[in-house]
Amino acid sequence: MRPLYLVDSSMYVFRAWFSMPREFFDVEQNPTNAVQGFTRFVCELVEREKPEYIIFAFDESLDSNFRNELYPAYKANRDPAPEELKKQFDYCKRLCRALGFQVLADGYYEADDLIGSALTRARAEGRPSLILSADKDLSQLLGEHDVQWDYAKNERWQLAGVKAKHGVHAHQLADYLGLTGDAVDNIPGVPGIGPKTAATLLGHFGTLDALLEKIDEIPYLRLRSAAMHAAKLREHREMALLCRKLATIRCDIPLPEDTELGSRRAKDEDGLMILIEQLRLGPLTRRRLLSL
């Protein structure tokens, strides 16, 4: 069965924002470098893979979501997205929709949660998924028949390859981040517990729950500073559980039921031409878009 392609679109928009020169502008002289880079990515992906089912998931809100209700400092280390980038995100979503591709975006849930929910529904239908993202968090979603693809590096891995890549199994990743935290998302974790220690503890106990139930056994492990780690876990038990919750991808978000998941609709030729003119896309990019 053909896989469902799940694109962590925001990652590729940001990548284009930072890598493309600031020499592209729309008809109103707003910068479009991120749109230019993202459009080239979409063209190359679709030309190369010819996906039968594909979803582009976006972070609708770059500043807040339900995790901020659980922990207000979540992602508070990031600067607010500039208005010119927010406008480019809107262009990228409009472009995908004009091409007939399904777009998922929600102001309360992150793109990861939308990807997780789409993957779960596809799995229930017996369909494998291919996640396009370099984000390690998304590896927690992988099942036996799924693949994650770091498109920029052209690296792919499956469920069996998660431990070699991240130090723990896919089903342990949220527990692992509950212990180590994640500086990128401002998730603190447990002080003093780094990647190697977390991997060792989960390798021995299996889960964070089992680890917390058996804290008294930790000092007897052949682990450097084991007694100190046990004391830290007792002190920061609730924070570890909260951080795991923050790192856990939701897989139960309601998704649109009006179409087959990821199936392409008819291209909006008029809308696409309007966007091409607004964005002042070059002739090569214009031809590629119209031929997709």
- How do the domains of the chain map onto residue ranges? 4-163+249-291, 170-247
**What does pTM read for this prediction?**
0.96
Quick check: 99 pLDDT over 70?
yes
pLDDT tens column, 170-224: 999 999 999 999 999 999 999 999 999 999 999 999 999 999 999 999 999 989 9
In the prediction, which pLDDT does 28 show? 96
Residue 62 pLDDT more than 60?
Answer: no
The three-state DSSP-derived secondary structure of the chain is CCCEEEEEHHHHHHHHHHHCCCCCECCCCCECHHHHHHHHHHHHHHHHHCCCEEEEEEECCCCCCHHHHHCCCCCCCCCCCCHHHHHHHHHHHHHHHHCCCEEEEECCCCHHHHHHHHHHHHHHCCCCEEEECCCHHHHHHCCCCCEEEECCCCEEECHHHHHHHHCCCHHHHHHHHHHHCEHHHCECCCCCCCHHHHHHHHHHHCCHHHHHHCHHHHHHCCCCCHHHHHHHHHHCHHHHHHHHHHHCCCCCCCCCCCCCCCECCCCCHHHHHHHHHHHCCCHHHHHHHHHC
Does domain 170-247 fall into CATH 1.10.150.20? yes
| Mean pLDDT, residues 229-235 | 96
Mean pLDDT value across residues 243-259: 92
Residue 85 has pLDDT above 60, yes or no: yes
Q: What CATH superfamily is the domain 4-163+249-291?
A: 5'-nuclease (3.40.50.1010)
Q: Is the pLDDT of residue 77 over 90?
A: no
